[in-house]
Amino acid sequence: MEKIKPKVAFFDISCCEGCQLQLLNIEDTLLDILDQVEIVNFREIASENGQDYDVAFLEGSVTNEHDAQRVLEIREKAKILVAYGACATIGGINGVKNTRPLDEVRREVYGDLASCFETGPNRSIDQVVPVDYYVNGCPIYPPELLKVFTRILRGLPYSVPDYAVCVECKLRENVCLYEKGQVCLGPITRAGCNAWCPSWGNTCYGCRGILTNPAEQGQLDVFKRYGVSDAVIFDKMTLYYKCQKEGARGR
């Protein structure tokens, strides 16, 4: 008897679609998993537009009521909803607009046409509907996506690690980026990326979301010790964390 494959769909709302491209970049590894499912909707790779699916992967944040309605419709149809990428899990860079009055943001972006465009507070997916699985990051970390995909197929849960990126950095024996003159949010950011950015010499921007119980004073002490200015701290802490402070969980 032929095994019935679960139907999987990929959707996006307000985002750059970088996480979908990241998914395509691991096509050789992904083929084994995709052989176990039926892709019915994935705009980046196929023209099919199936609306009958069991598992929905959703990229992007909710920036207006049109987005919110679409998310509600996807959630209603999907048995399992996966939020993937920083925009979907914690609001992403789009959340920067939440730091200023929306009318001011609308005028700056659209100028004289501001009244023609609808925009609202930026929200993560779980601020609108329940989410079953999370794949954090900007972009997503491919090994984590594959792990989540495998657990979904096996009917197993997945929890995003709730310890700091610094832990993974130490396990990889990396020199702390603060010692190299860089400002890093690893002390308060959720792990799960295997310290991907710091291991390649880049700073941690906090794209995986803040810990449930972050060592905030510890991070502030580090800022002070290395002479990080208030302006830099503000820029770092609002790039990805604004939506999460307002309710996004990103778990």
Tens-place pLDDT, residues 106-117: 888 888 887 777
78 in a structural domain: yes
The count of domains in the chain is 2
* Identity of the residue numbered 139: P
Residues 175, 129: one domain?
A: no
Closest CA to 140 of 14, 25, 9, 13: 25
Which residue, 123, 154, 185, sits at the end of a domain?
Answer: 154
106 in a structural domain: yes
Residues 156-174 pLDDT 10s: 999 999 999 999 999 999 9
Residues 133, 170: one domain?
A: no
160 in a structural domain: no
Residue 164 pLDDT:
95
42 in a structural domain: yes
Q: What is the mean pLDDT of the chain?
A: 88
137 in a structural domain: yes
Domain of residue 107 covers: 7-154
Closest CA to 73 of 49, 56, 90, 89: 56
